């Protein structure tokens, strides 16, 4: 198993692949029993970090669905002591749409609701889901700083941000993590310099949709190069895609989503997959 990776400069460490909770709570989600089995399977297999959000749900009447599911799974699994749960605020789901709301009042109310849904007194990592163009960025980040000062959250993370937004946020509060879309078919996070900036500043980077996305992951399983490398390692193309992310930067902590225990177990096993420099070079060339 690869060594745990730092959660930025928080002093916390997590195993290098975490669980993304989204597929268990949005449209097409499985029943609760299968979701609980999926979360427990991930934890049994060595994942100790779970990414969620208040808006992983069907619509505004269902806010907190994924957080409540995770809280229930952790109770059934037998304890939260060694598990880090990160959630997010800053979006809403009116009639099932995804809409930004970065107003300080919304973020503060959303954080209170997340504390309740997760059944905790303090959220270890609270991430701004996305900047809201209608609200000055500094006001949204200021709300997170206030939540931290009030002891409601321990650490602050960002999501869907550029380097200039990370820099602007860092003037207001310490940022321990960034969560942007990043996989071998989507390299914007590299090209825009976010990966390099996180490496330089010791910020953890959660690549989301690391195997291509909830509805698009078939591209990874059908990828001939990944299949070829997978066969050589007695692995799957998904595991190769995850191991590549881990290999290309020490700040990467992929958070593959799962709605089946088998997917979570398979993703966790990618923490043991060591690609050769030649494998990495082939994938780099393929994805560039
Ligand atoms: N911050 C943001 O704006 C944002 C946006 C999107 C996602 N996220 C976060 O990132 C997480 C991951 O993104 P995602 O769920 O969109 O996409 P993803 O992780 O690229 O793909 C998830 C899908 O791939 C399948 N899968 C994953 N690992 C597998 C494996 N090892 N073997 C076989 N199948 C595997 C799963 O299938 P099954 O369902 O069949 O298990 C799952 O539904 C989300 O869950 C969420 O926590 C954040």
pLDDT, one tens digit per residue, over 176-188 is 999 999 999 998 8
Query: Which residues approach ligand 1 with their CB closer than 6 A?
Result: 20-23, 51, 129, 159-160, 179, 208-214, 217, 236, 238, 255-260, 263, 266-267
pLDDT value for 189 = 86
Decide if pLDDT at 288 tops 90: no
Distances from the Cα of 125 to the Cαs of 178, 211, 228, in angstroms? 11, 23, 38
Q: Which helix (H) or strand (E) holds 177?
A: strand 175-181
Residue 151, pLDDT score: 98
Rounded mean pLDDT, 88-102: 98
- State mean pLDDT over 213-241: 95
Separation of 210 CA from ligand 1 center, angstroms? 7
> Global pTM?
0.98
CATH for the 5-218+246-275 domain, from 3.30.70.890, 1.10.3720.10, 3.20.20.100, 3.40.50.880? 3.20.20.100
Distance 42 CA to ligand 1 centre (A): 13
Residue ranges of domains in the chain:
5-218+246-275
Mean pLDDT of 208-233: 94
38, 178, 214, best to mutate for ligand 1 pocket (most atoms within 8 Å of CB) = 214
Rounded to 10°, the helix 163-170/137-149 angle is 50
* Percent of the chain whose predicted confidence (pLDDT) is above 90: 92
Q: How far is CA 202 from CA 143, 155, 162, 196, in A?
A: 23, 14, 16, 10
- Euclidean distance between CA atoms 72 and 143, whole angstroms: 28
**In a mutational test of the pocket of ligand 1, which residue from 49, 211, 264, 269 has the highest number of ligand atoms less than 8 Å from its CB?**
211
What average pLDDT does range 117-124 have in this prediction?
98
Grouping H, G, I as helix, E, B as strand and the rest as coil, residue 118 is: helix
């Amino acid at each position: 198993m690869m060594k745990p990776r730092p959660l930025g400069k928080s002093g916390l460490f997590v195993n290098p692949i975490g669980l993304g909770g989204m597929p268990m709570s949005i449209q097409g989600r499985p029943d609760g029993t299968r979701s609980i089995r999926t979360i427990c399977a991930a934890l049994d297999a060595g994942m100790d970090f779970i990414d969620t959000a208040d808006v992983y749900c069907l619509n505004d009447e269902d806010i907190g669905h994924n957080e409540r599911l995770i809280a229930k799974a952790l109770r059934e699994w037998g304890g939260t002591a060694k598990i880090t749960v990160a959630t997010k605020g800053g979006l809403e789901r009116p009639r099932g749409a995804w809409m930004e709301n970065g107003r300080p009042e919304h973020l503060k109310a959303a954080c209170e609701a997340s504390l309740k849904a997760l059944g905790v007194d303090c959220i270890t990592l609270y991430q701004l889901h996305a900047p809201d163009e209608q609200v000055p960025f500094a006001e949204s980040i200021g709300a997170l700083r206030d939540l931290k000062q009030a002891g409601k959250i321990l650490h602050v993370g960002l999501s869907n941000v550029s380097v200039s937004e990370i820099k602007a946020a860092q003037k207001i509060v310490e940022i321990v993590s960034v969560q942007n879309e990043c996989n071998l078919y989507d390299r914007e996070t590299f090209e825009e310099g976010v990966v390099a900036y996180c490496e330089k500043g010791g910020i953890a980077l959660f690549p989301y949709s690391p195997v291509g996305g909830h509805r698009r992951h078939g591209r990874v399983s059908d990828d001939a190069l990944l299949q070829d490398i997978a066969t050589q390692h007695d692995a799957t193309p998904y595991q190769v895609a995850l191991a590549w992310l881990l290999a290309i930067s020490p700040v990467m902590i992929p958070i593959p989503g799962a709605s089946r225990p088998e997917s979570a177990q398979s993703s966790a096993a990618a923490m043991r997959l060591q690609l050769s420099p030649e494998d990495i070079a082939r994938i780099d060339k393929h994805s560039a």
